[in-house]
Amino acid sequence: MDATPAETTEPAFRTLGGLRFSKGHGTGNDFVLIADPDGVHTIDAGQVAALCDRHRGIGGDGLIRAVPSRYLSEGRELLLSSPEAEWFMDYRNGDGSLSEMCGNGVRVFVHFLRAEGLVDLPDGGALAIGTRGGVKTVVRTGDSYAVDMGPWEFIFPGDATAKAMDSLVTADGLEVPRPALSVSMGNPHTVVALAELSELEATRLYTAPQVDPVPANGTNVEFVVPAEPLVHNGIGTVTMRVHERGVGETQSCGTGACAAAVAIRHWAGAEAPDSWQVNVPGGVVGVKFFAGAGGHEHVELSGPAVIVATGTLS
Ligand SMILES: N[C@@H](CCC[C@H](N)C(=O)O)C(=O)O
Output the CA 2–ligand 1 centroid distance in Å. Answer: 47
Q: Please report whether residue 297 resides in a domain.
A: yes
Three-state secondary-structure class, residue 185: coil
Residue 187 assigned as binding residue:
yes
Is residue 237 within 8 Å of 287, Cβ to Cβ?
no
Condensed to tens digits (0 to 9), the pLDDT of residues 149-161 reads 999 999 998 777 7
Q: Is residue 312 part of a domain?
A: no
Phi-psi region of 279 (alpha: psi -120 to 50; beta: other; left: phi over 0): beta
Task: Please indicate if the annotation marks 245 as binding a ligand.
Answer: yes
270 and 167 in a single domain? The answer is yes
3 falls within a domain: no
**R_g (Cα) of the chain, nearest Å:** 20
Contacts of 233 (CB under 8 A, 6+ apart): none
User: Whole-angstrom Cα distance, residue 10 to residue 32?
Assistant: 17
One domain, residues 65 and 190: no
Cβ of 245 closer than 6 Å to ligand 1, yes or no, is: yes
What is the CA angle 308-59-34, rounded to 5?
Answer: 65
Specify if 1 maps to a domain: no
Residue 48: is its pLDDT beyond 70?
yes
Q: How confident is the model at residue 30 (pLDDT cuts 50, 70, 90)?
A: very high
Is residue 107 within 8 A of residue 304, CB to CB? The reply is: yes
Which of 107, 125, 142 is the last residue before a domain boundary?
142
Q: 172 and 260: one domain?
A: yes
Give 157-163 contacts, CB < 8 A, sequence gap 24+: none
258 and 280 together in one domain: yes
How many angstroms does the Cα of residue 6 sit away from the middle of ligand 1? Answer: 36
Q: Determine which helix (DSSP H) or strand (DSSP E) holds 138, and give its type and residue range.
A: strand 134-141
Q: Which domain range does residue 93 map to?
A: 14-142
Please indicate, yes or no, whether residues 206 and 299 belong to a single structural domain of this protein.
Answer: yes
Q: Is 246 annotated as a binding residue?
A: no
* Pairwise CA distance, residues 170 & 180, whole Å: 10
- pLDDT > 60? residue 296: yes
For residue 298, being part of any structural domain is answered with yes
**Same domain as 217, residue 283:** yes
pLDDT at residue 75 tops 50: yes
Question: What pLDDT does residue 1 have?
Answer: 46
Do 291 and 260 belong to one domain?
yes
Residue 203 and residue 224 in one domain: yes
Mean pLDDT of 38-64: 96
The CB of 103 under 6 Å from ligand 1? The reply is yes
82 pLDDT higher than 50: yes
Contact 265/117 with Cβ under 8 angstroms? no
Cβ partners under 8 Å of residue 243, min gap 6 = 171, 205, 208, 209, 220, 221, 249
Structural domain includes residue 310: no
Is there a single domain that holds both residue 77 and residue 210? Answer: no
Cβ(299) to ligand 1 under 6 A? no
Of 121, 142, 163, the one marking the end of a domain is 142
108 within some domain: yes
Domain count, the chain: 2
Interior angle at CA 137, CA 261 and CA 133, nearest 5: 70
Residue 254 DSSP symbol? H
Contact 219 CB / ligand 1 (< 6 Å): no
- The mean of the pLDDT values for the chain is 94
Query: Which CATH number do you get for residue 38?
Result: 3.10.310.10
The answer on 71 and 190 residing in a single domain is no
Q: What is the pLDDT of residues 190-247, one digit of tens each?
A: 999 999 999 999 999 999 999 999 999 999 999 999 999 999 999 999 999 999 999 9
- The answer to whether 150 is a known ligand-binding residue is no
Task: Compute, in angstroms, the gap from residue 8 CA to the centroid of ligand 1.
Answer: 33
Handedness of CA 161, 167, 172, 174 (dihedral sign): positive
CB of 102 sitting under 6 A from ligand 1? yes
2 inside domain: no
β-pairing, 144-151 with 134-141? antiparallel
Q: Which helix (H) or strand (E) holds 64?
A: strand 62-68
Q: How far is the CA of 1 from the centre of ligand 1 (A)?
A: 49
- Enter the DSSP assignment of 14: G
Sign of CA dihedral 305, 306, 311, 314: negative
The catalytic residues are 102, 253
Q: Does the pLDDT of residue 14 top 70, yes or no?
A: no
Closest ligand 1 atom to 187 CA: 10
Same structural domain, 136 and 232: no
98 and 165 belong to one structural domain: no
Instruction: pLDDT band for 74, please (50, 70, 90 cuts).
Output: very high
Looking at 142, 163, 180, the residue that finishes a domain is: 142
